A and B are shown apart, each in its own frame.
Chain A
């Protein structure tokens, strides 16, 4: 039985009539529209806003990237977001039921959404597990990633740590205990497995009561990250060297706009940042009151999401600037020391300003001695420090923890930062899990036999067990596979089918009428144009681009950690991994045509048997 959100035991009349239970029990709903908005914000604002957007900004010409980003937001993001909310609120069912209601042949779209959400759930929570791990390790005198551990006889630091850096060592060795290639599986890391268990328990706790529990949790998960971001903003811009990072980011290099990759990345980022196509938005909207004004809410949530991206990138770039300046100045200090020690120059004679003069002078005067130390000379460049492409979960853990360890009271900053990551991650997980559970719950077969809590528990358990694979020593390589391939292509395909079916199978006019019944007025012609023409064309363009990219890209490669060298090396995926990638990509997309075919045949059989029985009647 479904627990309703409010108990209205007003009927005191004792029964003379017992009305049979033929009506549907009412659907649970949000306590107020604010909960729905915050749930959407909590879902949409996730780790990608904090990590991926600043990286894209950095790659595509700083402030100039905002232009394609905002254009794509207006043309692609908001209309598609609006459409998904409309479908969910109208059909009042999870993704499978909603798309079945639009057309029975489209059940496959809903199923594909559920499959994609399942993939996402399985690997996304591993990030929360890592955040927990780092959070718990922040409660120490010195942060464990601040210093290298010493080797057995205390003569030097552990060589792997020496060659790379303490933060990288902590990530690759002490957290992941990573193997050197995807072929060596290694055992399951206990610490990671425990943290993953905790992450799933927390998610379970938040969804156990459906909208009742989720609605309360999203107040925290959506608002807390902003507090931390503001605190970090204040701290960040006051750090020494932050200005360098900010200048680097905001100096627009408009020439980058000519690069088509910038536009593709902007479109993709908007797409995935808003979480379209997973079915989470449909699930959340299905719990709305029928007359909820989702048009306004769609615009608000999309703007908040993009605003947060820009805000987070300001914070991120001030931290990058601080880290880059710190490293640059450390590099300069090392060079000064090197020169002073090799040529026995007085302390204070070589400074940052005259370093280059000294180098030229010494090279001219003592060429042989200079040649001896030239292997140790480094090129200290602030630009190249800022340029270090930072992307992906592991690198982001490394870079931020590196910056944090150099701040005062680093434990406090570390705790704040990783708690914020947790809030963002859990908030997104709520949406991901809702996308799976809501359609399953609507499926009469299951909801008759299983209670809501049991269903939620089973889903969490299943995802946890599959997710244990990511806690093995080579787990991070499999994580990268999921991260890069599991959702990207499939999602574009799913959303394309969605928008085309809404516009052309369900009918744009019919859709508009439904919307006008819900919010009181017909949608503006702008939405009509974007839904029917612009967005589908854009998505088709993106799909073609990605296909070409996959085909011409050659064998997919990954970054493997080499512990002897202390850095990552590029390796090709073995054949079985490539086959797995193929399965991942196809598995969700194939649901659409497959289920359409099954429905077609089922209907044909039904029609035939109906025809036969009619014929029998006639005779």
Chain B
């Protein structure tokens, strides 16, 4: 059982938070994922108005098929962001060179910043956000990831609304069951009424003989009693009439 510093018991708030995180260039620990450029020179500092932090969880998403994050992948990423900008703004001058990547860490997280084509002016934050949202699916699939494993910190993804059937399913099942039960009750009541009517008819057809089914007296059925015209009761019968008759 793992026990560690018990700090607080509060439930985890949903990640990612809305406020942009201020990140200093973190010198990472002794890295052990090869092919990852370590300790990037502090390029664009994470300022509150400059691009987004991206976080990838490749190993979580792909497990054994995880690919290495290297320069080629970075290139592809910059290309997809440029594609997103092109698709959204319909401006074909966006290029891979417009997208900057900096502050990479071993987590595989980094900051991206998009500059207007052929200028050094960064693109508006909202514009970038909208562009990313509109091409989110394409960006995800380019890397075989999903909204959860390819996070843009600060951009909340719209959750897929759960598939709701057009009619409440439970009412259908309920209707079936209650229908069966009601039919059963009606059937039993009706059969009881019919049996009673039949019985009354039989009694009327027959003589004054009362239908004493199952009426028991002294452990003997009354019907049997009538047929036999009496039963010998041993308690009162004297076999031994040796006593004198008075």
- Which A residues form the contact surface with B (CB < 8 A)? 3-4, 6-11, 13-15, 17-19, 21, 23, 25-26, 132-133, 135-137, 139-142, 147, 149-150, 154-157, 162-163, 191, 194-195, 197-198, 201-202, 204-205, 208-209, 213, 332, 334, 337-338, 340-341, 343-349, 352-353, 355-356, 359-360, 363, 374-383, 453
Contact = CB atoms under 8 A, between A and B. Distances in A.
A201 B179 CA distance: 10
Nearest to A363: B5
A198 B180 CA distance: 11
Interface stretch (B89-97, B114-122, B159-167): B159-167
B13 interface: yes
Interface stretch (B136-144, B185-193, B231-239): B185-193
Of all A-B residue pairs in the complex, the 3 with the closest CB atoms, nearest first, are A11-B223, A344-B105, A356-B4
A10 B225 CA distance: 12
Given A150-B161, A201-B178, A379 B7 contact: yes
B212 A19 contact: yes
Contact of B156 (A156, A338, A374, A377): A156
Nearest to B211: A9
Given A15-B207, A15-B209, A376-B12, A10 B3 contact: no
A425 to B, nearest CB: 15
Given A7-B213, A198-B174, A149 B10 contact: no
Interface in B141-187: 156, 158-159, 161-163, 165, 169-171, 173-174, 177-178, 181-182, 184-185
A155 B8 contact: no
Nearest to A155: B156
A374 B26 contact: no
Contacts of A191: 170
B223 A13 contact: yes
A19 B210 CA distance: 8
A201 B106 contact: no
Interface size on B, as a range, is: 35 or more
A453 B213 CA distance: 21
B215 A345 contact: no
Contact of B59 (A6, A133, A341, A348): A348
Interface string B51-69: 0000101111000000000
B1 A381 contact: yes
Contact of A346 (B6, B106, B171): B106
Interface string B196-231: 000000000001111111111100011111110000
B12 A155 contact: no
B48 interface: no
B108 interface: yes
Interface stretch (B28-36, B70-78, B123-131): B28-36
A536 to B, nearest CB: 37
B2 interface: yes
A202 B184 CA distance: 9
Given A201-B185, A375-B8, A13 B226 contact: yes
B217 A23 contact: yes
Nearest to A19: B222
Nearest to B170: A136
B26 A157 contact: no
A17 B226 contact: yes
23 contacts: A7-B213, A8-B223, A9-B213, A15-B210, A15-B226, A17-B226, A21-B212, A23-B217, A23-B222, A25-B215, A132-B174, A136-B170, A136-B174, A137-B170, A142-B162, A147-B162, A150-B159, A150-B161, A198-B178, A341-B16, A344-B106, A376-B8, A379-B6
Contacts of B59: 347-348
B245 interface: no
Contact of A380 (B2, B170, B188): B2
Contacts of B49: none
Given A8-B221, A155-B158, A341-B55, A21 B188 contact: no
B189 A208 contact: yes
B98 interface: no
Contacts of A379: 6-9
Nearest to A16: B226
B221 A10 contact: yes
Most buried by B among A8, A137, A344: A344
Given A8-B221, A205-B185, A374-B8, A341 B15 contact: yes
B109 interface: yes
B11 interface: yes
Contacts of A198: 174, 177-178, 181
A356 B226 contact: no
A154 B158 contact: yes
A17 B207 CA distance: 11
Nearest to A337: B15
A201 B182 contact: yes
Contact of A345 (B107, B212, B224): B107
A375 B185 CA distance: 60
A377 B169 contact: no
B178 A375 contact: no
A139 B173 contact: yes
Contact of B3 (A7, A209, A377, A381): A381
A333 to B, nearest CB: 9
Given A341-B55, A360-B5, A378-B12, 4 more contacts: A147-B162, A150-B159, A154-B158, A344-B26
Contacts of A147: 162
Contacts of A132: 174, 177
Contacts of B170: 133, 136-137, 139-140, 191
A356 B209 contact: no
Given A355-B2, A379-B9, A136 B213 contact: no
Contact of B107 (A14, A155, A341): A341
A30 B45 CA distance: 86
A352 B4 CA distance: 11
A378 B36 CA distance: 31
Given A8-B213, A8-B214, A25-B215, A13 B1 contact: no
Contacts of A25: 214-215
A162 B213 CA distance: 67
Given A23-B217, A380-B2, A346 B161 contact: no
A337 B1 CA distance: 19
B157 to A, nearest CB: 9
Contacts of A340: 107
B229 to A, nearest CB: 9
A577 B79 CA distance: 68
Given A26-B214, A346-B107, A374 B178 contact: no
A349 B2 CA distance: 17
Contacts of B211: 9
